Amino acid sequence: MSSAAEKIVAEALRLGAEERAQVAERLLESLEDDGEDARGEDDRRRLHEAIARSEAQFAAGQGVAAEVVLADLESRLPR
């Protein structure tokens, strides 16, 4: 991922759960090809379920700081 994309992700992770869900939905919509769903209905359902779980966890105070998430992801990159 480019550094520009990483900056966008870092900023997006600072948003609240509802706004992150909206951003994710808009990004997925941008991947659709000529109005056809780029993902199957089952994939879309699972995504929306995951978003709902994330929102519930965030509302319950179980959020994870963006810095922690990014550090974890960076530690998984091949060196």
Over pLDDT 90: what percentage of the chain?
28
pTM for the whole thing?
A: 0.40
Tokens of 57: 């966890």
* Phi, psi angles (nearest 5°) of residue 55: -60, -40
SS3 33: strand
Domain residue spans of the chain = 3-76
The answer, yes or no, to whether residue 45 has pLDDT greater than 60, is yes
pLDDT digits over 2-15, tens only? 888 899 989 999 99
